[in-house]
């Protein structure tokens, strides 16, 4: 997906993260109206200058004192992040977390086009979960290859995560979203985002401790 990708290919991961956050300040139905850099700055907790720099990197989207056209800004951010289209994805490991993700606002409707669910538990295979039939683990590689699936979401226990990642990478997956609490090793051509919920807890403990010390 390179269409429409602006000069922002040099965008840092941190800047991309801030763009995601700005996006959350723009109502989905904001087809009219403007939004100011100070509102975005206040909402996300960064400086006004930072917001203006981040948005300037997307092209000419606003002028001083007037603010940004909300719909134009939203489209520019979505294009820059590469979420102006659907991404095909499989989800591996159909437990509570997977069920929560499949129901999560925006997970299916906004970006992920989940094309298959897999589990190694024979009692789960064949079940229908949020409209998808759970397929056996053994079919994973063949399906991912046949459907040219782009992204994989890993919600298996930690001890199974690396082997699942290996199968998905071997089958040509381009990116992984890993929820298993461990660091995965993947080939350099595969993008990896890990969400380790205990890391989030540690960050909170650190912040609370710092705030009080």
Cα dist from 206 to 87, 181, 202, whole Å: 35, 19, 6
CA-based nearest residue to 84, from 6, 141, 160, 142: 6
By CB under 8 A, what part of segment 31-90 binds a second copy?
43-44, 80-83, 87
128 touching a second copy, by CB under 8 A? no
Shortest distance, position 90 Cβ to a second copy, whole Å:
14
Q: Which one, 10 or 65, has the nearer CB to a second copy?
A: 10
Shortest distance, position 138 Cβ to a second copy, whole Å:
25
Q: Measured over all CA atoms, what is the biggest interatomic distance in the chain, rounded to whole angstroms?
A: 61
Given 73, 149, 151, 165, the residue binding a second copy (CB under 8 A):
151
* Tokens read off for 191: 């993008």
By CB under 8 A, what part of segment 91-120 binds a second copy?
95-97, 99-101, 103-107, 110-112
Is the Cα torsion angle 197, 199, 200, 206 positive or negative in sign?
Answer: positive
Q: Which one, 65 or 155, has the nearer CB to a second copy?
A: 155
153 strand-pairing partners: 91, 177
Local structure of 74: helix, strand or coil: helix
Segment contacting a second copy (CB under 8 A): 56-64, 115-123, 161-169, 201-209?
Answer: 201-209
Q: How do 87-92 and 34-35 pair as beta strands?
A: unpaired
Segment contacting a second copy (CB under 8 A): 50-58, 138-146, 164-172, 176-184?
Answer: 176-184
Given 56, 142, 147, 183, the residue binding a second copy (CB under 8 A):
183
Q: How does DSSP assign 27-39, residue by residue? A: -TT--S-EE-HHH
148 touching a second copy, by CB under 8 A? no
Given 23, 30, 71, 160, the residue binding a second copy (CB under 8 A):
23
Query: d(Cα 140, Cα 1) in Å, to the nearest integer?
Result: 24
Q: Are 20 and 54 in contact (CB under 8 A)?
A: no
Specify the residue for token string 């992204």: 151
| Positions in the binding site for a second copy (CB under 8 A) | 1-2, 5, 9, 11, 13, 16-17, 20-21, 23-25, 43-44, 80-83, 87, 95-97, 99-101, 103-107, 110-112, 150-151, 157-158, 174-177, 181-183, 189, 191-193, 195-213
């Amino acid at each position: 997906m390179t269409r429409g990708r602006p000069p922002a290919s040099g965008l840092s991961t941190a800047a991309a993260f801030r763009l995601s956050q700005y996006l959350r300040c723009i109502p989905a139905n904001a087809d009219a109206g403007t939004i100011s850099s100070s509102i975005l700055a206040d909402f996300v907790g960064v400086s006004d200058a930072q917001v203006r720099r981040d948005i300037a990197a997307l092209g000419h989207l606003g002028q001083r004192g007037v603010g940004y056209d909300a719909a134009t800004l939203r489209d520019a951010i979505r294009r820059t992040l590469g979420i102006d289209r659907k991404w095909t994805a499989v989800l591996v490991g159909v437990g509570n977390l997977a069920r929560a993700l499949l129901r999560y606002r925006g997970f299916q409707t906004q970006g992920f086009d989940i094309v298959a669910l897999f589990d190694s538990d024979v009692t789960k295979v064949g079940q229908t979960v949020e409209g998808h039939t759970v397929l056996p683990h053994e079919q994973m590689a063949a399906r991912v290859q046949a459907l040219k699936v782009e992204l994989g979401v890993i919600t298996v226990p930690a001890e199974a995560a690396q082997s699942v990642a290996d199968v998905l990478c071997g089958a040509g997956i381009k990116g992984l979203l890993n929820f298993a609490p461990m660091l995965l090793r993947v080939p350099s051509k595969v993008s990896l985002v890990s969400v380790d919920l205990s890391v989030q807890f540690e960050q909170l403990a650190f912040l609370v401790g710092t705030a009080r010390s």
